[in-house]
Structure 1
Amino acid sequence: MSNKKVLVGAALAGLAVGALSVSASANAEDVKCWGANACGAKSTDKTKAACGVKQEDIDAVKKSEFAKKFSKAKVHECGTHAECGASKGNLNWFHTSKDDCASLGGFLIVDNSVKKLPKVKK
């Protein structure tokens, strides 16, 4: 094999490994953060409600310490049907990192149960 082919092969392998590691690390931090979405002037693209709240999500929350806050939660298909603002007791989620979710007071729903996140130390 020529030196040129070896170098090209090594470069391609390096690029592939780099792309995989960046992709894995970006996806590892991405979670559905529940109960911390904002609305109106206070919302940003990062905290705007996303799609889909199912009955099983509501049932999980009703069995948690957040049951009272989200007692009026409704099933809905998408963000356009969602009511705004977790501060008003409307259950929604958005994608963010676990650390950001924790700092905003959000929680996860895993296997039909609520998982409260530990406070992030700064």
Structure 2
Amino acid sequence: MSDPVVLYVCTTCRDAADPADGPRAGARLHDALAAALAARPGAPVTIEPVECLSVCKRSCTVAVASPGRWTYVYGDLDPATSADIILDGIGLYAGTPDGIVPWRERPQEFRKGVVARIPPAPVNA
């Protein structure tokens, strides 16, 4: 069995159209992802809300991480339509030993929305 994948979701991301008193786009994306994940029992992913991923100009933003794999940060995600696409992409990520999904196999949202690719943290010997 492969290591679990953690999906960090920035809940403070704000869309330009967000009302001042309503839920922010990042919080809506988090809720949509939680609902979509509930419909996929056994999916090897844990969703963790975070208060900021410091990618404010590219909301909505998520980071995908797993031990021994590259970490990816994706932005410009649509809170209303991206949840299943994100989970599909994470399924591909989880199926790799290093987190690198071939470019053409990645969902379009991951190809155009990549903000950063971070190498795996070194393991102390």
TM normalised by structure 2 equals 0.26
TM normalised by structure 1 equals 0.26
